[in-house]
Structure 1
Amino acid sequence: MQALVIGASRGLGLVLTHELARRGWDVIATTRGDLHPDGRVEVESLEMTSPSQLAALRSRLTGRKLDLLFVNAAIDRGDLPISEVPTDMFTEVMVTNALSPLRALETLRDLVVPGGTVAVMSSGQGSVSLNTEDGYELYKASKAALNQLMRSYATRHAEDGHTKLLIDPGHNQTRLGGPDAPLSPQETIPAVVDVLEAQAGIPGLRFLDRHGETVPW
């Protein structure tokens, strides 16, 4: 089984790469940093927000066949009310968290085999119906936009037979989640991979948490 993990420099993406490899997957992992090839892990350099770099990666992967394409990318620029968010900050977060993951899917989806899976790391923070507490308005908006764009993607490509997943991994101890988060990637990601493997071959779009439970839109 072959997987491509976009955004494996650190945190959830890095742990996901190693967990897939531990389970016998061959993994192509993209990074902006110093991840090194290791056994089943092959490394590609990518700045995901660059369309030209995405196109170059697609060219380098010509002829490869993927059972899983997983996009992991998110930034957070602090807890500001939307009235205080500068335009350039809004643009940066939306481009990184919503636009670029869908660009990656569109660029690379033809490498995914029939019956394969395309998945994106989302967040329960992107659930409109669960947004009942103050804070992190821009991050929440970016994840809601990601979810909506993924819904449009799934509608447009409804006949391709791919499993399409938005994954909410919970609040984890990463650079984004902070050191006081209740979960660690080492306990979360094995559960996420369980979900990926359980959902494989089931076409259509689902928004699921690390336990495989549906997250409300």
Structure 2
Amino acid sequence: MATKNALVVGASRGLGLGLTTRLLERGWRVTATSRHAGGDLEALATQWDGALTVETVDTNDAASVDVLHKRLSDKVFDLIFVNAGITHDRWETVADVSTETFDRVMVTNALSPMRFVERFRDLVPATGTIGVMSSGQGSITNNTRVTGWEIYRASKSALNQLMRSFAARTSDDPRTLLLMAPGWVKTDLGGSDAALTVDESTRGVADVLEAQAGAGGLQFLDYRGQTVPW
């Protein structure tokens, strides 16, 4: 069986680093990105003897994204997965969040991932998958009780909407599109009280990504493969 190739964007720590590790364990060759050189991702590359290539990119910087695209323009990726997520003070609402914070969260969590998808879609074959890390908190249907993270929720809902617009605009494209909800995970964002470890969540995410290969169309799924209400 031919080796599968993945590009994981935002892999310096947490879920991105975890997913990169899970794919390597399953025999994938992975190109993984971070904003800065060094750190845990570079350390992981030394363990995998050429199976992991590390690149740097700032997805909020269009010029940086263009430079990476030029470096990788001769590659074909069975999977491109964009992981992005920053947050804010949990109890900030639109009544008190600063415009600067609102802009930063929206650009990082919604606009930049989709711009990356638009720029790199030509490197994914018709049988390939384009995935983006969303969140169950991006579900409008499930937003019925006060749990905080109002601006973060809005940014993930915006990401979902932009991905759905992309799918509608490219409805004749056979590639598989996935919005993934990783669950409540023990990361810097999820906190120590979260229900899942990074290993548990990313093992499930990797299972879903592999199971959905070739399915086509857009789905919003969680780490167990269950549909998340929009």
TM-score, normalising length: structure 1: 0.98
Amino acid at match of 2:70: S
Q: For residue 133 of structure 1, what is the aligned residue in structure 2? A: 145
Q: 1:12 aligns with which of 12, 15, 21?
A: 15
User: How far did residue 136 of structure 1 move?
Assistant: 1.1
Query: How far apart are the structure 2 equivalents of 1:183 and 1:149?
Result: 28
Query: How far apart are the structure 2 equivalents of 1:195 and 1:89?
Result: 33
User: How far did residue 63 of structure 1 move?
Assistant: 1.1
Structure 1 residue 193 corresponds to structure 2 residue 212: no
Query: How far apart are the structure 2 equivalents of 1:29 and 1:13?
Result: 9
User: How far did residue 182 of structure 1 move?
Assistant: 1.1
User: How far did residue 171 of structure 1 move?
Assistant: 0.6
Q: For residue 85 of structure 1, what is the aligned residue in structure 2? A: 97
Structure 1 residue 75 corresponds to structure 2 residue 86: yes
Q: Once structures 1 and 2 are overlaid, which stretch shifts more, 94-103 or 25-34? A: 25-34
User: How far did residue 70 of structure 1 move?
Assistant: 0.1
Q: For residue 42 of structure 1, what is the aligned residue in structure 2? A: 53
Query: How far apart are the structure 1 equivalents of 2:100 and 2:142?
Result: 27
Structure 1 residues not aligned, in runs of 5+: none
Amino acid at match of 2:72: L
Residues 79-107 of structure 1 deviation map (CA, whole Å, 9 limit, x = unaligned): 21210011111100000000000011001
Q: For residue 70 of structure 2, what is the aligned residue in structure 1? A: 59
Amino acid at match of 2:222: D
What is the Cα-based RMSD across aligned positions, in Å? 0.8
List aligned pairs for 1:64-213, cutoff 5 A. Answer: 64-79=75-90, 80-134=92-146, 135-213=148-226
Query: How far apart are the structure 1 equivalents of 2:192 and 2:60?
Result: 26
TM-score, normalising length: structure 2: 0.93
* Percent of residue pairs identical: 52
Structure 2 residues not aligned, in runs of 5+: none
Segments of 4+ in structure 1 off by > 3 A? Answer: none
Query: How far apart are the structure 1 equivalents of 2:184 and 2:89?
Result: 16
- The total of aligned residue pairs comes to 217
Q: Once structures 1 and 2 are overlaid, which stretch shifts more, 5-14 or 153-162? A: 153-162
Amino acid at match of 1:187: E
User: How far did residue 127 of structure 1 move?
Assistant: 0.3
Query: How far apart are the structure 2 equivalents of 1:87 and 1:70?
Result: 29
